[in-house]
Structure 1
Amino acid sequence: MRARSRPSVIGHRGAPGYRPEHTRAAYELAFALGADSVEPDLVATKDGVLVVRHENEISGTTNVADHPEFAGRRTTKEVDGMPLTGWFTEDFTWAELATLRARERVPHLRQASATFDDRYPILRLADVLDVVDTASDSAGRALGLVAELKHATYFDAAGLPLDELFLAELAAAGWSDHPGLVVESFEKTVLGRLHDGGFRGRRVYLLEAEGAPADRVAALGAAAPGYAADLTLRGLYALGSAAAPADRVDGISVDISQILHSGSVAVGLFGEDEGGVDIGAVTSDLVDLAHSAGLFVYCWTLRPENGMLPAEFRRSGRDDEWGDWRRLYAILLHSGVDGVFADHPDLAVAVRDGR
């Protein structure tokens, strides 16, 4: 049986199972529910302020479409090779975005959260750092931040280098040497630039199961190696032990499908004391391979709703009803991963801690 760790629970965009994502209420609730860290997604305004939104296109998570003064800014852009139509953060100043209010991203699955629509303003990175500091003081321990830099190559082309903006905001908030600071991205280039800029927190490379990173595609076009090349044993060792420090990362973060064996189902939990199901029968060897390469491993995202669960963990009923989430969470939390992203942090904490 694999050695077990006590993985950290990261409030994915706060606690969006209960409140609209990336709001102060969602982040404060995540810590109240036992999260060790929270995860803000960071995009930029046209005046260089890092704001907290899942994407730079904000029509699905704010009330921007209800503001007639911004109607003329609706447009179509190509972001990382995908055409998107809507309103984009880089076309607004922070003062303008501060007039907007947040909305639930998936109201058909999370009707209770949607009852909080239009109550909360959107946040800057600086606001989230303040939430973490306040929660740490209340908890009597250092709580953490796992910040994701979104679409770094895209923002570079717009003259908004996310790494430089991030380092400047950390310095302004006194966070440059914070022990709980982690930064992640689907583009390794920006992680390297952070190192060269003096960042000494942990750097995590997000790896999709398919496709290729936008920075490689921008540099190499159709010849760009995909994420699959990074997920081989050779690729993992290259990530953990590259000759140049800027080319190394501290960890990887992967979708739960990359932790599970496809189609495998455990009847109980696993291990000699938890149902007798061998973890190796239901999980891949990715965690072990990454650890052998000196990398820690995060996985995303733990969600209980049928409509968001892998097929083998769904139950009969509506998409918004909860499926066999406890069994899935138990498998993932005992797989050897070092941290999990959860939309309902209390559920992950309860399973991790055996409650």
Structure 2
Amino acid sequence: MITSARPLVIAHRGASGYRPEHTRSAYELAFALGADAVEPDIVASKDGVLVLRHENEISGTTDVAKRSEFVSRKTTKVIDGVSLTGWFTEDFTWAELATLRATERIPAVRQASSSFDGHEGILRLVDLLDIIDAATMSARRPLVLVAEIKHPTYFESIGLPLDELFADAVRGWATPDNLIVECFEQSVLTKIRARGIPGRLVFLAEAKGAPADLVASSGGKARSYADHLTPAGLSRLAAEVDGVSVSRKLLLKLDLTKNAVGVTDLVTRAHAAGLIVFCWTLRAENKFLAKNNRVRGEVFAYGNWRREFELLYSSGVDGVFADQPDLALAARPAAPLPAVVLPNEGETSAKGRASR
């Protein structure tokens, strides 16, 4: 059984506030800044290689749109009910993807990061495992992979089952202590556990909408994210997964003028059900802060990030995803919090595990 006295600081796509996300330098910088874990988004290439990109549509995070040899690959697809036009990882082999260069996804906000555009290629999941191993040796402390599986129902529909590909990639590397797997679709988490992969499972929940796997199977009758976060929904989740990871919008209590005035009771309710709780995403720029935590200036200027981060920590959350992991560490409570039980695969939580 694992215990954590303080919330985990999880570098969101690496130190993505400082370098283009999912690049080697973003991940290496995250660990150099002291992050406890890193979080990649995982999609697949045409030949079944798992690559690290925010989405399978890659025109916003690579130079693919400027590459004349790939102009014919531009297309329109419907991904989880949303029509997207661009270039998609599943239409390229890994050898082709490896020729692309990474770019900053939000250059208007991350101007310093965009100065690194074109300096690096994109990574495979296996590359990140090597980075984590090296960082663990250097830091002399356990470091964690928080792997987000993206669009698994869609990828399975085109013959690329991400649960199988992921299990093959991490089998022999993963342990109960170094791996957390998360997804907005609970069904893929169940499949990964059934394949014997150790680690903890975390269900991601948006502030609105419904999971894509449930929409695919039940249409308009699909249970919403909101339903998953009711007392009954949390109890159902606790029978099958170890935790939930929610948008910061679900933890911050806002007044009518969009000022942050407190936190909701979601963490307390989830803990009562036997679940750990993560929150995404902590970002320091004005653009991403509650109205009363912004300062005068441009959207890319840092606002009163410390006040907002500390407010989110006060909810009792067990981990936070942060684009600037050093700032999340700086705001993390100095005094140890009561130990939080993080159940290993095969163990039971406070409620609802007997049937698993």
Q: What is the TM-score normalised by the length of structure 2? A: 0.90
Range 287-296 or range 344-353, more displaced? 344-353
Return the alpha-carbon distance in structure 2 between the equivalents of residues 314 and 34 of structure 1.
Answer: 26
Residue by residue over 1:101-142, the C-alpha shift from the partner in whole angstroms, topping out at 9 and shown as x without a partner, is 100000000110000000011000000111000000000111
Q: 1:262 aligns with which of 254, 257, 267?
A: 254
> What are the within-5 Å matches in structure 2 for residues 97-108 of structure 1?
97-108=97-108
Return the alpha-carbon distance in structure 1 between the equivalents of residues 153 and 259 of structure 2.
Answer: 39
What is the match of residue 338 of structure 1?
Answer: 318
Return the alpha-carbon distance in structure 1 between the equivalents of residues 276 and 176 of structure 2.
Answer: 19
| 2:268 aligned with 1:288 | yes
> What are the within-5 Å matches in structure 2 for residues 1-355 of structure 1?
6-171=6-171, 174-177=172-175, 179-241=177-239, 248-263=240-255, 282-352=262-332, 354=334
- Whether the aligned pair in 1 keeps the contact of 2:100 and 2:122 (CA below 8 Å) is yes
- 1:265 deviates by 5.5
Residue by residue over 1:295-343, the C-alpha shift from the partner in whole angstroms, topping out at 9 and shown as x without a partner, is 0000000001111222332222110111111100111123210000000
- Whether the aligned pair in 1 keeps the contact of 2:259 and 2:290 (CA below 8 Å) is no
Return the alpha-carbon distance in structure 1 between the equivalents of residues 139 and 283 of structure 2.
Answer: 25
Q: CA RMSD in A?
A: 1.5
Return the alpha-carbon distance in structure 1 between the equivalents of residues 125 and 176 of structure 2.
Answer: 15
Residue by residue over 1:256-300, the C-alpha shift from the partner in whole angstroms, topping out at 9 and shown as x without a partner, is 11111122857xxxxxxxxxxxxxx71111000000100000000
Identity score, percent: 59
- In structure 1, list runs of 5 or more residues that go unmatched: 242-247, 267-280
Return the alpha-carbon distance in structure 1 between the equivalents of residues 176 and 86 of structure 2.
Answer: 36
The one-letter code matched in structure 2 to 1:286 is L
- 1:37 deviates by 0.2
Return the alpha-carbon distance in structure 2 between the equivalents of residues 252 and 351 of structure 1.
Answer: 22
Secondary structure of residue in 1 paired with 2:253: coil
- Whether the aligned pair in 1 keeps the contact of 2:42 and 2:149 (CA below 8 Å) is yes
Aligned residue pairs, count: 330
Return the alpha-carbon distance in structure 1 between the equivalents of residues 197 and 205 of structure 2.
Answer: 21
The one-letter code matched in structure 2 to 1:67 is R
Return the alpha-carbon distance in structure 1 between the equivalents of residues 90 and 155 of structure 2.
Answer: 8
Return the alpha-carbon distance in structure 2 between the equivalents of residues 176 and 344 of structure 1.
Answer: 26
Range 8-17 or range 254-263, more displaced? 254-263
- In structure 2, list runs of 5 or more residues that go unmatched: 336-356
- 1:176 deviates by 3.0
Residue by residue over 1:165-210, the C-alpha shift from the partner in whole angstroms, topping out at 9 and shown as x without a partner, is 0000012xx3132521000000001011111111221000000110
Q: What is the TM-score normalised by the length of structure 1? A: 0.90
Return the alpha-carbon distance in structure 2 between the equivalents of residues 110 and 40 of structure 1.
Answer: 19
- Whether the aligned pair in 2 keeps the contact of 1:42 and 1:147 (CA below 8 Å) is yes
Return the alpha-carbon distance in structure 2 between the equivalents of residues 321 and 331 of structure 1.
Answer: 20
- Whether the aligned pair in 2 keeps the contact of 1:5 and 1:336 (CA below 8 Å) is no
Residue by residue over 1:19-73, the C-alpha shift from the partner in whole angstroms, topping out at 9 and shown as x without a partner, is 0000000000000001000000000001000000000000000001111110000
The one-letter code matched in structure 2 to 1:176 is A
- Whether the aligned pair in 2 keeps the contact of 1:41 and 1:147 (CA below 8 Å) is yes
